[in-house]
Amino acid sequence: MALKCSIRSIGDVTMLDISGRLTLGEELAFGSGSGLVLSEKVRELTKKGQKKIVLNLTEVNYVDSSGIGQLVGALTTARKQEANIKLLAPPSRVLDLLRMNRLDKLFDIRESEAAAIQSFS
């Protein structure tokens, strides 16, 4: 299953609902031929003034090291743009991979949408 993403706003928080496989070569489905990867989309959002971003990983069914690299790249991009990213409910496989690489300390990980949104306050 290819990586898909839908974007929605809840107040001043931008939610990226991601589903599928976050791997090398997968592009986010932001429209046909968009060719966007996660960090590029984050850069685009922050340039539009959206500084509070939640990556909803609930429906991500597979992540490899390249996918972890995309998450780190998105976080780095956001920080350079003075924005903030939270991860929402990564599946246990994804969370285990983050922990194994000690990236769970780098990311702000929340278990519920309400907690993720509230954490920006």
pLDDT tens-place string over residues 69-119: 889 999 999 999 999 999 999 999 899 999 999 999 999 999 999 999 999
Q: Which domains does the chain have, with CATH numbers?
A: 4-118 (3.30.750.24)
pLDDT score of 31: 46
Dihedral angle over CA of 64, 70, 72, 77, nearest 10: 180
4 confidence band (pLDDT: 50, 70, 90): confident
pTM over 0.95: no
